A and B are shown apart, each in its own frame.
Chain A
Amino acid sequence: MKNDKVFFIAGFLGLPIAVVILFLLAPAMLTIIISFTGLDHRLRWEYVGLENYRRILTDPNMLLFIANTAMFVAGTLAFNVGMGLLLALISTHVIEPIGYLVRAIYLLPRVTPSVVFAFIMLWIFSPLDSGVINSTLIRIGFNPIPWTTSFPWLFLFIVNGLVGCSLGMLIFTSAIKSIPSDYIIAAKVDGAPYITIIFKIIIPMIKGHIAFVTAYQTLSLITSFEYILLTLDGGPGYYTTEVWALAAFHKAFAQYSLSSQYGYAAAMTSFLMVAAAILTILYWRAFRLREMISQPKIEV
Chain B
Amino acid sequence: MIGVAGGSLLRPVEAPPGAVTRTVTVTSTVVQQMPQQTPVTAPTAMSIVAWTQGPERESYYRQENLIEAAKRVTKILRIAGVSGEVRLEGEYSTAPWSDYRRKLQLALDSKTAPDIFMESHFAVAALSDAGWIVPLDDLIRTYWDWGYNDIIDSLWSAVKYKGKIWAIPQDTEARPIFYRKDLLAKLGWNKDQIEDLPNKILKGDFTFDDMLETAAEAVRKGVVEPGYGIWHRPNAGPDWPIPYLAYGGTLYDEGSNKLVADLSIWSKVFEWFYRASMRQSKAISDKLIGLDFNRDVHPTVVAGKVLFWFGGTWHKGQWVGSFGLKEEDFWKYYGFALYPPGQRGGKPVTLSQPLVYMISSNSKYVEAAFMIVTLATDAYLNARHAVNSAHLAIRYSELSHPEYTKDRFLAETGYMVKYALYQPNHPRWGIYQQAIFDVIRGIEGGALDPGRAVDTFKRTLETQLGGDIIFKGG
Main secondary structure of the interface of B (DSSP, over half): helix
Residue of A nearest to B238 (CB): A257
Task: Determine the chain A residues whose CB is within 8 A of the CB of B126 once the complex forms.
Answer: 41-42, 258
**Contact A43–B130 (Cβ < 8 Å):** yes
In the assembled complex, how far is the CB of residue B291 from the closest CB belonging to chain A, in whole angstroms? 9
- Residue interface bits A35-76, CB-to-B below 8 A is 1, else 0: 000001111100000000001001010000000000000000
The answer to whether A237 touches B286 (Cβ under 8 A) is yes
Q: Is B401 an interface residue (CB 8 A)?
A: no
Report whether B434 and A238 are in contact in the complex, using a CB–CB cutoff of 8 Å: no
The listed residue (B287, B434, B446, B452) touching A259 by CB distance below 8 A is: B434
The answer to whether A257 and B287 touch across the interface, beta carbons within 8 angstroms, is no
Tell me whether B236 and A58 are in contact (CB under 8 A): no
Nearest-Cβ distance from residue A168 to partner chain B, whole angstroms: 32
B430 with A43: CB separation less than 8 A: no
Which candidate, A14-22, A248-256, A282-290, is the interface stretch facing chain B?
A248-256
Tell me whether A237 and B434 are in contact (CB under 8 A).
no
Measured in the bound complex, the distance between the Cα atoms of B442 and A255 in whole Å is 17
Question: Is B101 in contact with A254, judged by CB distance below 8 angstroms?
Answer: no
Chain B residues near A43: list those with CB within 8 A: 105, 109, 130
Measured in the bound complex, the distance between the Cα atoms of B435 and A261 in whole Å is 13
Residue of A nearest to B435 (CB): A259
Asked whether, in the complex, the Cβ of A257 is within 8 Å of the Cβ of B433, the reply is: yes
B282 at the interface (CB under 8 A from A): no
Contact A42 B286 (CB under 8 A): no
- In the complex, whether B97 has a CB less than 8 A from a CB of chain A is yes
A236 at the interface (CB under 8 A from B): yes
B42 within 8 A of A: no
Give the size range of B's interface with the partner: 35 or more
B98–A42 CB distance below 8 A: no
Cross-chain contact B235 with A42 (CB below 8 angstroms): no
Instruction: Tell whether B431 is near chain A: CB-to-CB under 8 Å.
Output: yes
Q: Are A236 and B434 in contact (CB under 8 A)?
A: no
| A258-B430 CB under 8 A given contacts A42-B129, A60-B456, A238-B289 | yes
Q: Which residues of A contact B129 (CB under 8 A)?
A: 42
Q: Decide if A55 touches B463 in the complex (CB within 8 Å).
A: yes
Contact between chains at B445 and A237 (CB < 8 Å)? yes
Q: Is A224 an interface residue (CB 8 A)?
A: no
A237-B287, A256-B236 known; A58 vs B447 contact (CB < 8 Å): no
Which residues in A have their C-beta under 8 angstroms from that of B237? 256-257
Chain A residue with Cβ nearest B455: A60
Residues of B within 8 A of A261 (CB): 431, 464
Residues of B within 8 A of A256 (CB): 97-98, 101, 235-237, 430, 433-434, 437
**B459 at the binding interface (Cβ < 8 Å):** yes
Which residues of chain B come closer than 8 Å to A260, judged between CB atoms?
A: 102, 105
B351 interfacial contact with A, CB 8 Å: no
Count of chain A residues with Cβ under 8 Å from any Cβ of B? 23
Point out the residue from A41, A60, A236, A255 that lies within 8 Å of B290, measured CB to CB.
Answer: A236
User: Does any Cβ of A come within 8 Å of B469's Cβ?
Assistant: no
Q: Once the chains bind, are A237 and B290 in contact (CB under 8 Å)?
A: yes
Give A58 to B455 CA distance when docked, in angstroms.
12
Interface centre among A55, A238, A255 (most CB of B within 10 A): A238
Q: Is A208 an interface residue (CB 8 A)?
A: no
A42 touches B290 (CB 8 A): no
B431 (CB) vs chain A CBs: closest residue: A259
Residues 288 to 342 of chain B near chain A (Cβ within 8 Å): 289-290
Give a binary string over B104-132; 1 marks a CB under 8 Å from any A CB, 0 the rest. 01000100000000001011001001100
A99 beta carbon closer than 8 Å to chain B? no
Q: A257-B236, A260-B105 are in contact. Are A42 and B130 (CB under 8 A)?
A: yes
Q: Is A255 within 8 A of B447, CB to CB?
A: no
- The reply to whether the CB of A135 lies closer than 8 angstroms to some CB of chain B is no
> Which chain A residues lie closer than 8 Å to B102 at the CB level?
253-254, 260
B395: CB under 8 A from chain A?
Answer: no
With a cutoff of 8 Å between Cβ atoms, the chain A residues found around residue B238 in the complex are 257
Docked CA distance A152–B286 (Å): 16
Residue numbers in B under 8 Å from A280 (CB-CB): none
Contacts A41-B126, A60-B456, A257-B101 given; indicate if A238 touches B463 (C-beta within 8 A).
Answer: no
A31 within 8 A of B: no
Q: Does B274 contact A (CB under 8 A)?
A: no
A55 to B460, CA, bound (A): 9
Contact with B along A200-244 (1 / 0, CB 8 A): 000000000000000000000000000000000001111100000
A52 to B14, CA, bound (A): 49
B-chain residues with CB within 8 Å of residue A55 when the two chains form the complex: 463-464
Residue of A40, A42, A257 touching B97 (CB-CB under 8 A): A257
Known: A43-B109, A237-B286, A256-B430. 7 other contacts (CB 8 A): A40-B428, A42-B130, A236-B287, A236-B290, A238-B445, A256-B437, A258-B427
Q: Which 4 A-B pairs have the closest CB atoms?
A: A238-B445, A258-B430, A235-B290, A256-B236
The 18 sampled A-B contact pairs (Cβ below 8 Å) are: A41-B126, A42-B129, A42-B130, A44-B130, A60-B452, A236-B287, A237-B290, A238-B441, A238-B444, A239-B447, A255-B101, A255-B430, A256-B98, A256-B235, A257-B98, A257-B120, A258-B431, A259-B433
